[in-house]
Structure 1
């Protein structure tokens, strides 16, 4: 609810203030969008070696879902913020390996001297995952991940994607075995539905060569579910600081969306979500909880 409608000193008031504090600063948001746009321009430029693959660039993850939070420094450790970028190319996954597409996208990025430096900087810190190409901007506590993808031919709507599966980059693997499915746009559409604001997101993401990043929202107009997700992320960042096994953002977002019941109050929504997650964990003991991808529910 808007901050002006909150009674000062209530739990909702305190949580609302925390949400204000963990929002990206406008300068940070503008910086992220500028760098995303520059990378998109490099990948989609005409008469480049990549042009034959008709690349299209889209934001995904927290920037698309509007759940990004401000970077944090604690105990000499940094929790950066990021923007995940999909580079979708016309590519046949049944005859060509994901390693081949990864190499083509990487070659196009390193043709830019600054991007090459950013990629090398990220490699020194984290190595190479093969799933994405990371550009590190450590001075700004920011990084940008480029995910090479192609359309999943089995999806009638042409929305689901194939991304690289480096675990299968072997000499005996068939080309299609080097890919794995991902559905970031349907996931974002599902989250929109759970926020009860309708969804036309999938259709909007299917046109421009470099799709725009959704505009920055003020905390007091952000959907309660999105603020609950942001609070969970910040608690995760603090409690699992430096832990490589920390819960992923996609898992927290999925669990929050599953257990949210449309509460207008941030406090009520957070309580419902946390209690729901705790109950799900307890019911799953001694095993692990199942967190299926809700995007599958929207696929034909």
Structure 2
């Protein structure tokens, strides 16, 4: 599928806090998200702004990003300041599962997926730049992103992959044989093989028309949904081919410059072969920097690092 269809906004739900960076739907159609003040929220009845209700589940004391609901009711949280956490929504308790790897503090945990065998894989977007200076990593393009694994028995995480360009969303294939990792800085999805003759190796899963952020899997047989935080930026891609010293100087300037998100937003759904099954876009959008998307009922819910709420859109889109 090469042509996109229109992403149709229905309404906006304010959360009273900035930056619902990741949105995930639970088994009851409620949406979970984390916001900049550290709180983990659960949003009920998103079908109408009049009925929507926001419930506070916990406070991580940091900056929650990627979320992963667990079968036992727990919630895994990638916190950009505190590392990989486990939250108990019933009690509101927060436990640190990993805050360092090989003696290095985890600076920028981004997204996480739990597999049926109890192992947990999670991404680190950058080893050089914290969340507040994320643009520096995108500009410098030095490839310090990582994929880490926490074994089923717990303990210390191990580094599985290095050299990723701003590693971001991560999700598992339907048969559990591979993971898909979003590399924001390279506008691509990378496949990491867990089993079979290619186990431990990577290949290209999909090249995208924009910069991918979080990934969300719609059930075992559903597609991978990916948010495009920005369209492709040709001058940036040209800069990425310049010498490291040039990119470094540009990055130092970029972290001090005001950032205004693009007015064009998009989300995509892909099958397990990497084929696009949905591509929805909207130009001149008032809701900007879409960093996540999930589906619940007839709706798509969009999260954003930039906004103070979530956008609810028609799932079907329009021609």
The structure having more radius of gyration, on CA atoms, is: 1
| TM-score (structure 1 length as normaliser) | 0.29
Larger helix proportion, structure 1 or 2? Answer: 1
The TM-score, its normalising length taken from structure 2, stands at 0.28
Q: Which has the higher strand share?
A: 2
